[in-house]
Amino acid sequence: MKQQIIVSGIGGQGVLFLTRVIAQVAVNQGIPVLTSETHGMAQRGGTVLSTIKIGDFASPLIRTGQADLGLLLWEENFPVHQSILQENGTWIINSPHNSDHISIDAAKIARNLGNAVLLNLVLLGTALKQGALIFTAEECETAIKQLAPKKFVEQNLTAFHKGLNS
């Protein structure tokens, strides 16, 4: 079982947390996982990209045209990271507009929940609903509970379910 995923957004949007949740699910299942993340200057509102490789890999980095799934938190990054996905790869995009890809106004849903940052988990929920991940919703919930600060667990799970039931 192998899957290569990218998470693309801008600093401050919760790309790192989403990356960790997905990787934690793999660890909980006993599956090897590698991620790479953007830290440093770019985190100040610049474009950031995480890669996640689930299964037997040595390197965390993904070659052009190899990723199976792209979670796009910042729509404007599409042309920047488009080429990392395989031609028949799946994009899940946070966007108020319709496109050829699966898009959902995750930002709006998150805003209605009171915090724009929650869009990351709305998007994760949508990805699960679309069957785009090799994990189950329960497995993701466990990881969210493990990683979210205690007082935000409920809010995070609500966001996740909003995406799941969107």
Partner 1 sequence: MKNKIQLLMGNEAIGQGLIEAGCQVAAAYPGTPSTEILQAVIDRREKAAEPLHLEWSVNEKIAFEVALAASYTGKRSVAVMKQVGLNVAADPFMRTAYIGVKGGMLTIVADDPGPHSSQNEQDTRLFCLQARVPVIDPASPAEAKELIRPAFELSEKYETNIVLRPTTRICHSRQNVSIAKPITLERQANFELDTPRWSATPAFLPALHKKLNANLEKISFEPDWQPRLTSGDNSQPRTALVASGIVYSNLVDLLEELNLNNKIDLYQVLMPYPLNPDFSKNLHEKYDRILILEETYPVIELQLAHPGAVGKQNGAVPREGELTPDVTHQALAAFLDLAPPEEKPEERRGQRPSLCPGCSHRSAFYSIKKCFPKGIYPSDIGCYTLGMNLGAVHTVHCMGACISQGAGFYQAYQQDAGDFPTIVVTIGDSTFFHAGIPALINAVIQQARIIVVILDNATTAMTGGQPVPHMGIAAGNVPTKAVAIEPLVKAAGVEFLEVCNPYENDKFEDLLKNADEYIRSPQGGVAVLIARHGCIMDPAVRKVQDSFLVTIKDNCIACLICVDKFECPALSMDKDKNLAVVNQDRCIGCGTCIPVCPVDAIIKEEK
Q: Which stretches of the chain bind partner 1, using CB under 8 A? A: 10-12, 19-20, 23-24, 26-27, 30, 32-47, 57-66, 74, 76-77, 79-83, 107, 111, 116
- Rounded to a whole number of angstroms, the minimum distance from the CB of residue 135 to partner 1 is 14
Q: How far is the CB of 43 from partner 1 (least distance, A)?
A: 7
- Candidates 56, 50, 59; CA nearest to 6 is 50
Based on C-alpha coordinates, what's the Rg of the chain?
14
Q: Which is nearer to partner 1, 146 or 158 (CB)?
A: 146
Cα–Cα distance for residue pair 166/150, rounded to 1 Å: 25
Q: Which residue, 131 or 150, has its beta carbon nearer to partner 1?
A: 150
Q: Residue 37 burial by CB count (10 A; 0-12/13-18/19+): exposed, middle or buried?
A: middle
Q: Residue 116 or residue 137: which is nearer to partner 1 going by CB?
A: 116
Give the per-residue SS3 of 18-29. HHHHHHHHHHHC
In whole angstroms, the minimum distance from the beta carbon of 76 to partner 1 comes to: 7
